[in-house]
A and B are shown apart, each in its own frame.
Chain A
Amino acid sequence: MPPPLRVVQPPPVPPQRPVHVEPTEFQTEFVGSRGRLFGLALWTGLLTILTLGFYRFWMKTRLRRWYWSGIRPGGLPLEYTGTGIEKMMGFLVAVVVMAFYIGIVNLVLMFVSFSLLANNFAAYAVSLAGVVPIWFYARYRARRYILSRTRWRGIRFGMEPGAWGYAGRALMHWVITILSLGLLWPRMTFWLEKYRTDRTSFGSVRLVQGGRWQMLYRPFLDVAVPVLGTVILFAYMRFTGDGIDGNLPLFWLLVPLGLWFSIGIVNYSVKATKRLADTKTAGDIGLIAQPRTGTVFRIYSVGYLLTSIAMLVPLVPLTILFGLMQIQRMQAGLGEASDLAHLFDLPRWLLIIVGLVLYFGVFLSWSVLRHVFVTMPLWRHYAQTITVTGVPGLTNVHQRARDTSTEAEGFAEALDLGAAI
């Protein structure tokens, strides 16, 4: 409800006003420094460990708030309004349902598999197959939850219910993709994204996924061709009888093929994101995305390299500690004593605590540094290369009602689909 309007005195000296001219296109900026993110990820990660993992719902919430608010299309930040408590609630709901499923189903499958087939591979396979539909369901629910807790310019995003429909279609597309030996992969990418996008709204305006699946085929070739090349290479070596040691030069062909494949797969992800974004519309509003494969590939490779190097900080002392304890034990077994052993005459509980701290330190530094060196740079690159077009169309956008479903992303959480953020 707008308050009653009344006229008041204008200010005696008008202060400087923020210049906020609305153009027809919005560039997007990313604000936010690695330092702040490092602090936030470290602190929340520490709390998560200290609470045996239960703070993770709040950790995720706070990190998302940070990432969302860092993106500013047209100078105004996105806002993430999810809460830790609703995530925990959704998780508890999922646990109640899934505990029955996983506990009983796993046990029965293990029994059936051993009594009929006398091995456990079948059990794992069937158990996995049973979880797959729930996995797709969870993916859709997670996306719906995140969108319903995302705002821009005060307007909520939202997504219609449709998780089981999504799971069914995803299964169908996977079957088609597998039957086509992977050649129809882009078709799956496109139609699943279209299903999700066409059910998404920004306030009162529906999003529409335009374009056609064939537009993803060109970038897909850089994945398919190296795979095909590898298959042909192996078939040829098999056919001619040139084993791996028999024909070394031929074997070395795998190196460029592998490199081509890894760049190809990054390129496919980047180009698919771009083309799918470019063909999305919400009324008159559209997007232009210009992410660069080279940049994304560099972020991945340099980012993970830096993360791994920094991991050595807790990993090296941990290894040394374990090594020394091993030596000490062996010497005790041989009835010898050395200065080295005396070094570790410290109480056992102290060694265990130091070991535990280092052990968790390894996990913590991995997750924190991955945020700083990989997730954040990727996030920034994708944000900075996106342009919002048809800005005047925003005048038609009105608020939508709050999505009150309480399940949050519980199933995704329970099935460990959380990913980075």
Chain B
Amino acid sequence: MTEVPTTEPLFIPALWLDGETAAVHEVLLILEDDANGILILEGKTERDAWPYADLRIVPDVAGPDQMILSVQGEETARLIVSAHDAGLIRARAANLRRRPPLRQKGKLAAWALAAVGSVALIIFGLVPLMANQLAAFLPPAGEKALGDATLTQIRQALDETGYGELPLCETTDGLAALRTIEARLTANADLPIEITVQVLDHEMVNAFALPGGYIVVFRGLLEKAESPEEVAAVLAHEMGHVSARDPSRIALRSAGSIGVLGLLFGDFAGGAMVLFITNRIIQADYTREAEANADLYAHDLLRRSDLPPSAIATFFERLRAEGNEDDTSILRHFMSHPALGDRIAAARAATPEGQVTVPLLEPAEWKALKYICD
């Protein structure tokens, strides 16, 4: 070894943590320009040599007065250098900020896959499967309670004052007209549960079914409908959902999947929002398959009740022509596939040639229903 330095070596005072004991060694670091690393000198003894290329800086250190160094290959040893001398080291060590290579990539990927896989399996497989099975066993009283709870939540959520609940519409004449439509349909339907049709005072053009046989129609829908047959067609569709116990399935299903999604997204800002949106998507996905069946049920029920299934086609066509998609959320509900156009066509096709229909309401009764919220 040639020990003739070409330039004067630099001496930097430092603290050295040996990584084996809790002792703190006062050392001198020898920085020679033609050497390829730092020599750590304690007293007259050389304790270690750290190659410049292997030096790393300990990141995110709070104290601006110190630079803490580690070296590749030694996990616990550290050098603490005053910030005054940090520049001397920076000038010589090129890889100070290089990150450690990512270890166990395969293992990480495997767990990531396992996590995504198990969540998918649970949300799209196990939970719907169990929800479908269990929904059939939910006793009527339990289903009713579930529906009550959900209806209260919906009424609170839609109430624009922010407190209280969205009012129910129940003028005497209006209710009587509603009961007439209801009676015509239920006489020909064999539902597993008694249905309760209610009108909510909201401009949304929509209707939906809840667990426990609740069917909710918004005022907006009654206003847009131009004949009682159109209202009956919407009710028949919702009764299709009730008959299939779809609402109970959705309720049970969201109970299972909301928790799992919360687990996945954690508490990051707005996690609740992502959660909500994701759950909505899942629900919509769920209703798609149910929609077609509800349609078939409705066509059959309407025919048996001497009502024209084509009424729903007329109603949707009018809504679509108005193109006011913003507040016609019913279009979105019905827009899930099969595509709206196909459904309109299917409703027409389900209407027998020369069907003899029996009128549903007297003009006065129809007027009372339209103004049920006044």
Contact = CB atoms under 8 A, between A and B. Distances in A.
Interface in B37-79: 39, 41, 44-49, 58-66, 68, 75-78
Contacts of B13: 15-18
B122 A49 contact: no
Contact of B108 (A17, A66, A77, A89): A89
B63 A72 contact: yes
B111 A416 contact: no
Interface in B154-172: none
Contacts of B26: 17-18, 20
B107 interface: yes
A70 B24 contact: no
Given A7-B44, A118-B141, A104 B256 contact: yes
Contact of B19 (A16, A17, A65, A399): A399
Contacts of A203: 22
A248 interface: no
Given A18-B15, A115-B142, A95 B269 contact: no
A394 B22 contact: yes
A325 B260 CA distance: 34
A311 B26 CA distance: 48
Interface in A46-64: 48-49, 52-53, 56, 62-63
A184 interface: no
B334 interface: no
A55 to B, nearest CB: 9
Nearest to B248: A114
A154 B260 CA distance: 40
Interface stretch (B129-137, B189-197, B361-369): B129-137
Given A52-B268, A98-B263, A107-B130, A11 B15 contact: no
Interface string A30-42: 0111001100100
Nearest to A88: B108
A303 B267 CA distance: 22
Contact of B260 (A93, A102, A114): A102
A95 B197 CA distance: 42
DSSP class of B's interface residues: helix, strand, loop or mixed? mixed
B268 A49 contact: yes
A100 to B, nearest CB: 6
A119 interface: yes
Interface residues of B, number: 90
B62 A89 contact: no
A32 B63 contact: yes
A370 interface: no
B119 interface: yes
Given A104-B130, A398-B21, A111 B15 contact: no
A367 interface: yes
A46 B144 CA distance: 45
Contacts of B41: 8
B138 to A, nearest CB: 5
A96 B115 contact: yes
A69 B58 CA distance: 10
A360 B269 contact: yes
Interface string A95-113: 1101110111011101100
B217 interface: no
B188 to A, nearest CB: 30
Contact of A96 (B111, B266, B269): B111
A2 interface: yes
A218 interface: no
Contacts of B126: 103-104
A359 B63 CA distance: 34
B62 A36 contact: yes
B264 interface: yes
A89 B270 CA distance: 23
Contact of B268 (A2, A56, A65, A103): A56
Interface residues of A, number: 86
B329 interface: no
A22 B48 CA distance: 23
Contacts of B130: 104, 107-108
Nearest to A356: B270
Given A95-B119, A120-B149, A114 B138 contact: yes
B133 to A, nearest CB: 10
A3 B112 CA distance: 42
A291 B127 CA distance: 50
B151 to A, nearest CB: 14
A7 B266 contact: no
A135 interface: no
Contacts of A65: 58-61
B139 interface: yes
A114 B115 contact: no
Nearest to B18: A154
Contacts of A70: 62-63
B267 A418 contact: yes
A345 to B, nearest CB: 15
A102 B46 contact: no
A18 B82 contact: yes
B345 interface: no
Residue from B77, B123, B264 with most neighbouring chain A CB atoms (10 Å): B264
B127 A79 contact: no
Contacts of A20: 15, 24, 26
B206 interface: no
Nearest to B23: A395
Interface in A117-141: 118-120, 123
A409 interface: no
Contact of B80 (A76, A123, A333): A76
Given A49-B269, A118-B141, 7 more contacts: A5-B46, A32-B63, A69-B68, A89-B107, A118-B144, A154-B78, A394-B23
14 contacts: A17-B28, A18-B82, A31-B63, A49-B268, A49-B270, A79-B78, A99-B260, A103-B126, A103-B257, A103-B259, A118-B145, A203-B22, A363-B269, A413-B266
Interface of A: 2-3, 5-8, 10-11, 14-18, 20, 22, 31-33, 36-37, 40, 45, 48-49, 52-53, 56, 62-63, 65-67, 69-70, 72, 76-77, 79, 85, 88-89, 92-93, 95-96, 98-100, 102-104, 106-108, 110-111, 114-116, 118-120, 123, 151-156, 203, 333, 359-360, 363-364, 367, 394-395, 397-399, 402, 413-414, 416, 418
Q: 7 closest pairs, A vs B, by CB? A: A363-B269, A32-B62, A53-B268, A154-B17, A107-B256, A70-B62, A118-B145
Interface of B: 9, 11-15, 17-24, 26, 28, 30, 39, 41, 44-49, 58-66, 68, 75-78, 80, 82, 102, 104, 107-108, 111-112, 114-115, 118-119, 122-123, 126-127, 130-131, 134, 137-139, 141-146, 149, 203, 251-253, 255-260, 262-271, 273-274
